Amino acid sequence: MEKIGEIIAEHRHREGPLLPILHAVQEEFGCVDADSEALIANGLNLSRADVHGVVSFYHDFLDKPDLRPVVQICRAEACKARGVEQIMDAATAAAGERVKLTTVYCLGLCSAGPAARVGDRLHARLDGPALAQVIENA
């Protein structure tokens, strides 16, 4: 929890320090749990309810780390034009609860979409079965 104190100290003098602190804590620990909320509230002289209200408002903040593999699927215009929305049902079914699907807006493979990324690996020209395979291998 010493690290949270360092994060607070690093950002406390900024205008609107709460969001940068929350992002930094989530990046460091993978979540913003109740103990972190209390420390942040104390460090910024806010109520815990103030901090929790912000944490719970933004879906990006997690109250516990999500350790599932992540598959990023591009749903920007070029990939939409190339059919990504038509293969999302297959993606969702393949992912189930085991894999976390996230939406990104462009992976730089616009002419070869639909595109997805797992870690550093890019996948292009995906159809339903190919995307399902990517997800199953994640």
Q: How far is the CB of 74 from ligand FES (least distance, A)?
A: 3
Choosing from 7, 32, 113, 134, the residue that interacts with ligand FES (CB under 6 A) is 113
Environment class of 109 (CB within 10 Å of its CB; exposed 0-12, middle 13-18, buried 19+) = buried
List the one residue out of 84, 72, 70 whose CA is nearest residue 113: 84
* Residue with token string 């395979």: 133
Tokens at 107, concatenated: 């992976």
Choosing from 4, 8, 21, 115, the residue that interacts with ligand FES (CB under 6 A) is 115
Q: How far is the CB of 113 from ligand FES (least distance, A)?
A: 4
Site for ligand FES in 39-78 (CB under 6 A): 74, 76-78
Strands 116-118 and 70-74: antiparallel
Choosing from 22, 25, 40, 107, the residue that interacts with ligand FES (CB under 6 A) is 107
Q: How far is the CB of 107 from ligand FES (least distance, A)?
A: 4
Q: How far is the CB of 25 from ligand FES (least distance, A)?
A: 31
Q: Which is nearer to ligand FES, 18 or 84 (CB)?
A: 84
Cα torsion for 119, 121, 125, 130, to the nearest 10°?
-70
Q: Long-range contacts made by residues 86-89, C-beta under 8 angstroms, separation at least 24?
A: 86/128, 87/114, 87/126, 87/127, 87/128, 87/131
Q: Which is nearer to ligand FES, 79 or 135 (CB)?
A: 79
Footprint on this chain of ligand FES (rule: CB under 6 A): 74, 76-79, 106-110, 113, 115
